[in-house]
Amino acid sequence: MSEIFKNKLAQLDIELNERQYRQFDQYFELLVEWNNVMNLTGITEYEEVNEKHFVDSLAIVKAIDLNQVQTVIDIGTGAGFPGIPLKIVFPHLKVVLLDSLGKRVKFLNAVTEELGLLNISAIHGRAEDFAKQKEYREQFDLCVSRAVANLATLSEYCLPYIRVGGMFIPYKSGEIEDELNAAKKAFHILGGKIDTTVKFQLPGTDIGRSFVKIKKIESTSKKYPRKAGLPSKEPLS
């Protein structure tokens, strides 16, 4: 267990037990091991993974009280960020991890099994397809994504998963204003409304972060998301 990690979590008012620290260490080991055979992350140094993947994933506590959330979907989860760190720290959460690459989903399944995490599943496919399915559409309290896509595109992937009254919170870098303005129409079309934007720096770094809280105020029209490829090629604007 790293004291540096512990201190950074303390700055987010997060306190873990021994088992949770052990789970983060196991997660780190699996990440590095699997990274040798497939591309999961360019960051493999212990403290750097703690900071740029784990602490960064957990920083969403600045924007929402996760004790009030029951169901979470993580779109374009990659190596499991932020979904798995959130599940470790808030074990009551029911989490779905979605990724378009089968190899990554195998890795995610190995992690959840090794860490003994329950009520978490990894699904393989495209956000546009699963959003049309009854068991996923408008079923979640919270949708998160650290995926690299502009907000208008990301909203079309994510807002259809959230129940009315729920929240979509993308992880964004510090400067967000232009992107936010360009996405306002998309939020409106998809049934979302900007609540607030929470800006801060990652503890002990100069890395700026923005969490845009988009509240789902009405159901998303069945025509969204559009078919694969269109949300990124022609963002709603």
Local confidence band at 101 (pLDDT 50, 70, 90 cut-offs): very high
Task: Please state, as a whole number, how many other Cβ atoms lie within 10 Å of the Cβ of residue 78.
Answer: 22
Tell me the C-alpha distance between 102 and 123, whole Å: 9
Q: Where are the alpha helices (DSSP H) in 69-219?
A: 83-89, 102-114, 127-130, 151-158, 177-189
Q: Does pLDDT of 34 surpass 80?
A: yes
Per-residue pLDDT band at 149 (split at 50, 70, 90):
confident
Which residue segments constitute the domains of the chain, with CATH numbers given? Answer: 3-225 (3.40.50.150)
Higher-confidence residue of 60 and 201: namely: 60
Check residue 114 and give its pLDDT.
98
> Does the pLDDT value for residue 19 go beyond 90?
yes
Share in percent of the chain as helix, strand, coil (round to 5): 40, 20, 35
Q: What is the DSSP letter of 82?
A: T
Predicted pLDDT of residue 31: 98
pLDDT at 3 over 90: yes
CA 46, 48, 53, 58 dihedral sign is positive
Band of the pLDDT at 229, cuts 50, 70, 90?
A: confident
DSSP 17-68: -HHHHHHHHHHHHHHHHHHTTS---S--SHHHHIIIIIIHHHGGGGT--GGG
Mean pLDDT, residues 189-217 taken together: 92
Which residue from 190, 148, 142, 137 is spatially nearest to 169, judged by alpha carbons? 142
C-alpha closest to that of 141 among 66, 69, 53: 69
Percent of the chain past pLDDT 90, that is, above it, reads 85
Average pLDDT score, the chain: 94
Q: What is the pLDDT of residues 171-195, one digit of tens each?
A: 998 788 889 999 999 999 999 999 9
Compute how many other C-beta atoms are within 10 angstroms of the C-beta atom of residue 220.
Answer: 22
More confident position, 234 or 87: 87
Q: Is the C-alpha dihedral spanning 126, 129, 135, 141 positive or negative?
A: positive
**Is the pLDDT reported for residue 33 higher than 90?**
yes
